[in-house]
Amino acid sequence: MLTSLYGIQPRGVDHRVLLARAGINPTQVEKTSNRVHTDQVARLFRLVQQELDDEFMGFTAQPCKYGIFFTLCELIQMCKTLRELLEKTVNFYLLINQSVEIQLTTRANTAELSFELKQPELDYGHFLTEYLMVIWHRFPSWYIGEAIRLRETHFIHSAPEHRDELQIMFPGKLSFNQPRNSLFFDALYLDKPLIRSSKELEVFLSNHPTDIMTIPGEDSSLEAQIERFIMAASNDHPNSFKLMFPKIEALAEQMNLSTLTLYRRLQQEGTSYQIIKDNIRREVAIDKLVKEKLSVDEVSEIVGFAEPRSFTRAFKHWTGLTPRNYCKYHDSD
């Protein structure tokens, strides 16, 4: 995650400010190996792209101006099938940027989507390579309404330390030290119709790149199941939206698990019920403060704090900023 900040170093931008604006406490993330929530990572990537005016985040010689992906999405609304979408994407990037070349080829019943960085030595930690491959697996999956099952994923670089994370990001066989960076999948997917409406695309882009990083509805982790359960229960609140957190014993019963099993499985995923609750509180608080412009007192009540001072202390622990200072950073954009 911190690798994404490599491209801002020549600009003299304070990375701690970007981390805080992304809802990540700089002090905490720099001294711990704890996982960072997907929504926080997505906000950080978007902030880096905006700061540099470069969707490739400083990892190529020629920048890809911020907004190019949005323009592409306007063009592909005319496409009918996944093949048309990918072919238009390939041609579009060939026209607007020479730093990255995307190719789509088919052999027998296998499709290959490959990515060539013209100056791979600029791609520190192979960050951009892996980021682009995540996008162009998950965005097409979202557009056809089902996860594209990968047969193989090839990388030109050697197996990195985060190989286990890559296995989660790209289910299927992983191969390293290959001639190309490629996603391989059944060519039948290319004939799948695009099912998303213009309105759905508009909502998707407003959340970009959060929804790209986890295909909506496809994350089967216990953490994701609990998050969906809590948000659904909270939306059913009779008067207005308010976070509702059941006791862990009741949650386990709802999920047909013993409390001990729930504890153990969450521990295996590297999380806990308290961490999940804090993640949900943080994301809802940021949304209510920044998008809906609610007061600190209102947000404090919505996310379940008895008094605003306790909420302010918790928010500063999560992000490194008080709620009011966090809003000031966003209002100054």
List, for residues 111-142, the tens digit of each pLDDT value.
999 999 999 999 999 999 999 999 999 999 99
Taking only the tens place, the pLDDT of each residue in 23-48 is: 888 877 765 556 678 888 888 999 99
Q: Is the pLDDT of residue 216 over 50?
A: no
Give Cβ neighbours of residue 227 (< 8 Å, ≥ 6 apart).
276, 279, 280
Complete DSSP assignment for 227-255: HHHHHHHHHT-SSS-------HHHHHHHT
> For the chain, what are the domain ranges?
53-191, 220-331
User: What pTM did the predictor assign?
Assistant: 0.78
| Token duo for residue 145 | 């309404």
* pLDDT score, position 35: 66
Instruction: Tell me the average pLDDT across 79-88.
Output: 97
Given this structure, which CATH class describes domain 220-331? mainly alpha
What is the Cβ-side half-sphere exposure of residue 204, based on CA atoms within 13 angstroms? 23
What is the residue whose two structure tokens read 């996860």?
147
Whether 239 shows a pLDDT value over 70: the answer reads no
Q: What is the pLDDT of residues 169-186, one digit of tens each?
A: 888 899 999 999 999 999
pLDDT of residue 14 exceeding 60, the answer is yes
- Which whole number is the average pLDDT over 284-308? 92
Number of helices (H) and strands (E), helices first, in the chain? 16, 5
